[in-house]
Structure 1
């Protein structure tokens, strides 16, 4: 690998002259500059990023940790962050914690060694050890979706409860009262808040949540499938609110296996509006949260802290949800002798 001294020897100048040309730190004659640039091109020389960062005390690098990079939600979220930061001259190191606190801790160690300028985290877990791990990195931190107790950091999230209420009210407005809910992982605040929104919407309309009508689905397609099987076999709901789109897609499969038509026999509504939700059949009604905009908001909040344009106590940036009605939800019609859902024409 070529060094700055090799370039200087090829160009016939001092290595400090090469440094000044690379960093624009001091005027260099046109002749010397041309020779240096020619040598760099001939040798295909790439400056050492660690060496330059030690001098500049910045790396223009941001760390991003997500709990599951195979989940389309986090893939789209990461794309939003990368696009926003790239336009501002930053690159992103993406780490997958695989929903494991120890793996997340190792990700933090590696990112810290790479001297990142800031960190965006969709964290696994919410206990005190996670807060301590993040404090130890000693760079500005922005938390996404899942608040962490004991950590004074900006939070960017959608209004989870309002979104769940929006989805549930949509089903209630269509005449459904026998509604099941698929929750996410029981140990996350996101899941608890979305289920709370479901229950609140039912209560405000005076509709009882049937015993066994809430089943856990772990925020994955297989989890949603298993939870939907449980609900369809035990509760026979006319509609299901799933706490994310991946679980709702799993519910579509469970309904199809039972010969149930969606939405004619069972309406299904998700949460997130991942791109995939528009292309499954039937296209999924969902509560959207503009995932790319969420990533952009997280990037903006972090850069404001890094650049010092925002100081003081941590702030919460709340993204308002919106309902996107597609093909998987329709009005319920009561029939003599049994309940059936039919598409309102």
Structure 2
């Protein structure tokens, strides 16, 4: 099967077929769709190695995630994937399993010209290494960030959203509010802790160090830390938890201790995963625009790949507090 066969059936030139495959943004939508339809019907596979040799492009994007088992990233990845495919790119995925060395190894694929650019959904490697990579290749950070780096970044304001979640509990009348954090070597954990602390301070509430317990993103860690909080003589009446999966762990610990949510302990999570709306009780949480974060990150990366100069590098998308049963009783 040759490119000329595709061109003949689509009634376009071979040059147009080539542009659809290599520079789709330069072809009209109607023509692009017509050519892609023929390509799918014929199951045409372009000679990628030859194309790379001619254009020095792979038409491939590398996306690096800290933990592929974390449900949060699925919608972010979908936003990236849809935007990439619509622009003629394919996505390959790298899972670091929260290992900075693995993150560095994936970044090295750019040095080997195995991808045209990279979206990092994690930022754990050394700041100077990241600066080196981003100065040589198109790179965008999404969800996490590193202060002082001139790399395009897409995220929400984790400090203000955590403050909003904690203030919701304060407005309900709670004064003894605990926080189960994520790992403190991750910037998002530190930001959400800051938001929690800011909310308490702005309402003249004491920050009790014992009420701040560190988890590791997992259900199990939050379950154990919640049991520890419940063992204190002075137990909290509410808890803000780093993410929804951990919030489920905290609620399970409350239930297993013979208590009720929210009557005895109110719980607020973060991320608005699908599970948070079906779990009993439904979980109050902060909604992140996950799909839109992926879309925006990919849009920015395409601009960098196409040689555009970005007038703005930092993009903060809107979050929303979703109030459900875990903080407010149905009755």
TM-score, structure 1 normalization: 0.80
Structure 1 match to 2:178: 180
The counterpart of 1:226, out of the listed 214, 221, 224, is 224
Match of 1:70 in 2: 69
Tell me which residue corresponds to 1:298: 297
Out of 192, 195, 209, which is 1:194 matched to?
192
Query: In 1, Cα distance between the equivalents of 2:256 and 2:280?
Result: 14
Q: Distance in 2 between matches of 1:133 and 1:226?
A: 40
Q: In 2, Cα distance between the equivalents of 1:311 and 1:291?
A: 22
Aligned-partner Cα distance in 1 for 2:245–2:313: 30
In structure 2, the residue matched to 1:23 is: 18
Cα pair distance change 1:24/1:262, threshold 3 Å: closer
- Give the structure 2 partner of residue 88 of structure 1: 87
RMSD over aligned CA atoms reads 2.8
SS of equivalent to 1:272? coil
Using structure 2 for the length normalisation, give the TM-score: 0.83
Indicate yes or no: 2:280 matched with 1:281: yes
C-alpha separation in 1, matches of 2:104 and 2:226: 34
Unaligned runs of 5+ in 1: 9-17, 26-39, 331-342
Map residues 299-318 of structure 1 onto 2, 5 A cutoff: 299-311=298-310, 315-318=313-316
Please state how far the C-alpha of 1:110 moved relative to its aligned partner. 3.6
By how many angstroms is 1:291 displaced? 0.8
3-state DSSP class of the match of 2:213? strand
Specify every segment of 5 or more residues in structure 2 that has no aligned partner in the other structure, as ranges. 5-12, 21-38
The answer to whether the Cα contact below 8 Å between 2:123 and 2:146 also exists between their aligned partners in 1 is: no
Q: Does the CA-based 8 Å contact 2:110-2:116 persist in structure 1?
A: no
Larger radius of gyration: 1
Q: How far is the alpha carbon of 1:279 from its aligned partner?
A: 1.5
Instruction: State the distance in 1 between where 2:110 and 2:226 align.
Output: 39
Separation in 2 of the partners of 1:88 and 1:82?
10
Please name the residue that 1:106 is paired with.
105
